[in-house]
Amino acid sequence: MTESFVIEGGHPLRGTVRAAGNKNAALPILAGCLLTGEPVHLSNLPRIRDVETMMALLRGLGAEADWTGDNEARVHAADVSSEVDERLASHIRASFLLAGPLLARNARASVPPPGGDVIGRRRLDPHIHAFAELGATIDVGDRYELVGGLRGTHIHLDEPSVMGTENAIMAATLAPGETVISNAASEPHVQDLCRFLIALGAKITGIGSNVLHVTGVDRLGGGEHTISPEHIEVGSFIGMAALTGGDVTIEGIAADDLWPVLPVLKRLGIEVELADHSVRVPPGQELVIQDDLGGAIPKVEDGPWPQFPADLTSIAVVVATQAQGTVLVFEKMFESRLFFVDKLVSMGARIILCDPHRAVVTGPAKLYGQRMSSPDIRAGMAMVIAALSAEGRSTIGDAYQIDKGYERIDERLRALGARIERVEA
C-alpha cells in the first residue's frame, strides 16, 4: 500500500525547526564504515528511507548496523562479504558507494547496477575510471566485478562527480602510497566524509578544494562522528517559509554551507537573517525577482560546488512561480530534473519548458490545489511547497519518494502549523 500527502494550502508556517543530518553525507559515511573492522558510532543520522536501505545493505554484507537512538547508530563490520544485494541496491543510487570500501577492504567487490531517482543519466564512468587507475581490474556485465590490490596514483576525474570522488577517496584510504584526486567534487557532504575518515585514522588533505591528497594507511580504527546538517533541507524550509508568508527559524545549520544558496534565493526575492547556527525567514516577504543589469532577465543555474546546488533547482523553480518578474532556470546537471514542472503548470504556474535543461518562469501566479504524484525526492518537495502556498487541497502521491530524503517531513511541518496529513492511497 502506497501513501500520499494531503495538504490544505494557505496557512503560514511559524515556529522553529531543526535541520536534519545531511543525507548525502550519511550514505557515504555509512559505506565508509566498511573500511574498518572496529565499531563506529554515528550521530545526527537522518531517519529516512535511503539511510534505512543503506543500513540494510550493510547488514546484508555481514556487518552489524543498528539504531541506538532516534538519530544515532552503531556499525560494526568485523567481517564482511563482497557481494552486494541486488534487490536492495535497486532502490538506492548510493548502493554503488559500497564498491570503493569493499575493494579496499577485501580486494574484491561485486556490485549490481544502482537504482535511485530518475532525473537523467547518472554516469558511473568516473567511479570505474578511478578504480582502474588505482589498479583494479573490472568486468562489467550484469554486475560490476572489481578485483585487485590497489596502489596510490594520480586520478583526474573527467567530471567532478560527487559519488565518484567519494568512492575514489574511500578506495585510496587503504591503498599504499599517495593518491592525488584532481577535479574532485568539494560539496559539504564530500568534506564531511573526509572528516569522518580522518577521525578513523585516514590521512587526507585538501578538503574543500578540487585537489585531494590521500596517503594510504595500513588500517583504520573505530570512532565516532556527527553527521553535518542538511543544507538542501535548510534551503527547502527557507523556500516554504517565504512562500507561505510565515516566520520560521531553522536551527542546527552550518552557515558556511549556505553561501552558494542564499544569493540565488535573494535573487528570487527572499530575505533571511543568518547567524552562525541558525537562519530566520521573517514574515512579510515581498518576493520580487532581481533583474540583471540593464533590466535583462536573470538566470538561475546550478553546477558543482561551490555553485548553486542542483538538488535545490526544483525548489528555486517553485519559489520563482510566486515572485514578481521573470527568470530563466538553467539545470545543467540532469536532463530530466525539470520534467516535473507540468505538475506546477497544472496548479496554475506560468512556466515555459524550453528544453530538458531550461525553463522560463514568470510570476506571481495563483496556485490551486491539485492531485499529483512525486517523481523524485526534490521534485516531491517542490510540490509540497507549492501545495502549502496554493489555494485549496492538494494530494501528492508516492510519498515514499519524499521520505527518501526528508525525515518525518509531515510531522515536522505540522509542528510549524501546516495542514498536512499522511494517508494510505
Residues with catalytic annotation?
117
Rounded to whole angstroms, the Cα distance separating 258 from 312 reads 12
The two most distant CA atoms of the chain are separated, in Å, by 64
295: buried, middle or exposed (CB in 10 Å: 19+, 13-18, 0-12)? Answer: exposed
- How many CB atoms neighbour CB 119 within 10 A? 25
Rounded to whole angstroms, the Cα distance separating 291 from 295 reads 5
Rounded to whole angstroms, the Cα distance separating 109 from 280 reads 46
- How many CB atoms neighbour CB 185 within 10 A? 24
Rounded to whole angstroms, the Cα distance separating 380 from 116 reads 14
Backbone angles phi, psi at 11, to 5 degrees: -115, 115
Helix (H, G, I), strand (E, B) or coil at 105: helix
- CA dihedral over 127, 356, 25, 43, signed as positive or negative: negative
CA distances from 61 to 46, 106, 175 (A): 22, 12, 22
Residue linked to cell 517523481: 375
